[in-house]
Chain A
Amino acid sequence: MLKVEEHSPVTFSADLISRFDEIVSRYPQGKQKSALLPVLHLVQAEYGWLSTQAMDKVAEYLFIQPIEVYEVASFYTMYFLKPQGKFMLEVCRTGPCCLVGAEKILNHLENKLGVKEGEVTPDGLFSFRGVECLAACGYGPVLQIGPEYTFYENLTTESVDQLIEDLKNKS
């Protein structure tokens, strides 16, 4: 069972709501539930993760039951049901990337960041995890960082170090 992590109330901004409205307009009348996945992406981009409060608000907005949102949010791997580091480094861990060193990158990240997969560094900046095939097998090893899902290809331990430095400086 999923636990509730936070109880702070959530209010969607007018701008966010107008972006929801545009998404809903893409589907036939009465099929607004189709907007659920894209809307959840927008909410996650805004808050960094999906709290129960945020999901309940989405349910209210789309005229569906909260459980329908939980079912979907917990099915798809891109949605975070608990807070993550500001930068979530998602490294592909599937076959073709492993042939060219993805496991080395994952081990390196664990040592470098000093946290295990799924944990957050004490400064709140970084999390990392292995994810399944990102469909970039020819450019492996690869990692992506949400919410923009910027892609980093042909990783080496050096390029990962550089990336972490750059992200630190950016924040």
Chain B
Amino acid sequence: MSDNKVKVTIDGITVEVENGTTILNAARQIGGDIVPPAMCYYSKLKGSGGKCRTCIVKVSKGSEKDPRPMPKLVASCRTTVMDGMEVQNITSPEVLEARAGVVEILLINHPLDCPVCDQAGECDLQDLGYEHGLQKTRYEFERRTFERIDIGDKIQLHMNRCILCYRCVYTADQLTDGRVHGVLNRGDHSEISTYIEQAIDNDFSGNVIDVCPVGALTDRTFRFKNRVWFTKPVDAHRDCPTCSGKVTLWYKGPDVLRVTARKDQFGEVEEFICNTCRFETKNTSDWTIIEPTKISDTSVIAANHYETLRPLPVIKTNEQLREANKKELEKTIKY
């Protein structure tokens, strides 16, 4: 074993990782069900994580040198692995119970307005609630409400749905010059705001939509246009002077309804994109189509995604894409 590598065992699976890796990222290297959920951590945003507490795990052995267990559950996104560390995630009933508690608590003030929320179908909180939530809430008080705010003409803030993950704040801080939005007030009155209804006027501001784990920040140009599971994502790119131009186009029939950054298997964007690509470039002719976006078969978006009977016009006309589509379809049929 080289000097800068350490061994960590998560739910019985051992992996060798770079020194300084967090438990969460070690788990992501293993992949599968043992990866803790993360609502606030975002690997591309410095300083993120530690807040939502959904990724908590049990460290049953601290390290080879000091095998004592850690006294409390720890946030896996902010705890670095030590050589010989043993971690329990889904194999610990204590962790699952605590996580269910966090999910319940995250939901007490969250409006259950999924039927009218544009994020539904690609919402991390919806997935978590489905997996860990109780059938019925024990919270019998009025939920906290805020006014909806339009942050410029492209982004809408639905503060009621916000879980205060701070991702958008880090995004604004780290991607744009002169942050204009942040967190106001304190405790459960905290809110994301620009103080005065100021447009986030910056080439990269639209990325706050992609990093939002819930439907608090949504794309006004897509608002109520369609449910995400009726749209079909296709990866595309263009030569953009501002960003990489690598995007996902969300089609309904021949129309591009929405443009987002491409996301990896953990729901994080691969590369941040500019507002021109996101909001202003919605014609197929603006883009070079690459392939149908790979969607996890557990996602509702996967439903009928690769159907061959009525493929998207952009796919129908392109031999290479038709082939890719067929391959993906065969894969999904196997399940």
Contact = CB atoms under 8 A, between A and B. Distances in A.
B216 to A, nearest CB: 13
Interface in A64-83: 65-68, 70-71, 74-77
Interface residues of B, number: 19
A67 B147 contact: no
A114 B183 CA distance: 35
Given A71-B184, A75-B186, A2 B195 contact: yes
B179 interface: yes
A74 to B, nearest CB: 4
Nearest to B186: A75
B146 interface: yes
A5 to B, nearest CB: 11
B195 A1 contact: yes
Given A66-B180, A67-B194, A75-B186, 18 more contacts: A4-B196, A52-B195, A52-B196, A65-B178, A65-B179, A65-B180, A66-B195, A67-B180, A67-B181, A67-B195, A68-B179, A68-B182, A70-B193, A70-B195, A74-B185, A75-B184, A76-B186, A77-B186
Interface SS of chain A: helix, strand, loop or mixed?
helix
Contact of B185 (A4, A65, A66, A75): A75
Contact of A1 (B146, B180, B182, B183): B146
Contacts of B191: 1
B149 interface: yes
Contacts of B197: 1
Contacts of A70: 182, 184, 193, 195
B196 A74 contact: no
A13 to B, nearest CB: 25
Contacts of B179: 65, 67-68
B178 A2 contact: no
Contacts of B195: 1-2, 52, 66-67, 70
A74 B184 contact: yes
A52 B196 CA distance: 9
Nearest to A55: B195
A64 B149 CA distance: 24
Given A52-B195, A66-B195, A2 B180 contact: no
B308 to A, nearest CB: 49
B219 to A, nearest CB: 20
Interface string B233-251: 0000000000000000000
Nearest to A73: B184
A77 B189 CA distance: 13
B182 A67 contact: yes
Contacts of B193: 1-2, 70
Nearest to B195: A70
Contact of B186 (A65, A67, A68, A74): A74
Interface string A76-109: 1100000000000000000000000000000000
28 contacts: A1-B146, A1-B149, A1-B184, A1-B191, A1-B193, A1-B195, A1-B197, A2-B184, A2-B193, A4-B196, A52-B195, A52-B196, A65-B178, A65-B179, A65-B180, A66-B180, A67-B179, A67-B180, A67-B181, A67-B194, A67-B195, A70-B195, A71-B183, A71-B184, A74-B186, A75-B186, A76-B186, A77-B186
Interface string A6-41: 000000000000000000000000000000000000
Counting chain B CB atoms within 10 Å of each CB, the highest count among A1, A2, A70 belongs to: A1
Nearest to B157: A1
Contacts of B159: 1
Nearest to B193: A1
A7 to B, nearest CB: 11
